Amino acid sequence: MHEISKKKLSAGINVNSKFPAKLVCSIIIVVFILRVEVSASAMNETKSSEVLCGVGILSKVSHAKHRMLLRETWFQFPSVLNGSLVPRFFIATPSKPASLEKLHSERAKFGDIVICPNVTESYDNLPRQTLESLRYFTTEIRAQYILKADDDVFV
């Protein structure tokens, strides 16, 4: 049996995973659930969240069809519609102005896109996108749990 992996991130965020450390590091391939504990100093208050689970979905600028398919399928589940499950797409900042414009337009229309600042699109930067999702769900949404997924995963 594996021990619980514990990681300490900046801003007082502690991440406990039920998966071994090697598996946690393989975030590109594996979908995992994290129990996130945020210190009161990082949150500036200790209110409990009504959001049960934030779903951080890593995506690419060019995957608009993937995102639309998810919006038309499991984003319509009651748990998403009632707000207890909050899905967000995390996308690296595009280098082309036209791509950034399209992404801003899609974000304005659906409200489910988070553009990761200071993260360029590359395989090596996928962990940075994941860390951005952890930051977002612990500071902006205050979700009790976080599920990391990719845009080709059906939850």
Provide the pLDDT confidence category of residue 26 given band limits of 50, 70 and 90. very low
b/e per residue 66-86 (b: at least 16 CB within 10 A):
bbeebeeebbeeeebeeeebb
Q: How far apart are CA 120 and CA 129, in angstroms?
A: 9
Q: How far apart are CA 129 and CA 115, in angstroms?
A: 9
Domain span including residue 142: 49-150
Domain count for the chain: 1
Task: Indicate whether 27 belongs to any domain.
Answer: no
Task: Indicate whether 32 belongs to any domain.
Answer: no
Q: Which two tokens stand for residue 141?
A: 């949404």
117-136 mean pLDDT:
93
Q: Which position has the higher pLDDT, 38 or 88?
A: 88
Q: List, edge to edge, every strand of the sheet that includes 13-17.
A: 5-8, 13-17, 33-38, 145-150, 53-59, 85-93, 113-120
Task: Indicate whether 15 belongs to any domain.
Answer: no
pLDDT > 90? residue 11: no
Task: Indicate whether 37 belongs to any domain.
Answer: no
Highest mean pLDDT among 37-41, 111-115, 149-153: 111-115
Task: Indicate whether 17 belongs to any domain.
Answer: no
Task: Indicate whether 106 belongs to any domain.
Answer: yes
DSSP state of 11: T
The three-point CA angle 90-8-42 to 5° equals 75
65-70 mean pLDDT:
96
Task: Indicate whether 119 belongs to any domain.
Answer: yes
Task: Indicate whether 13 belongs to any domain.
Answer: no
Write down the pTM of the prediction. Answer: 0.71
Look at residue 22 and give its three-state secondary structure: helix
pLDDT > 90? residue 14: no
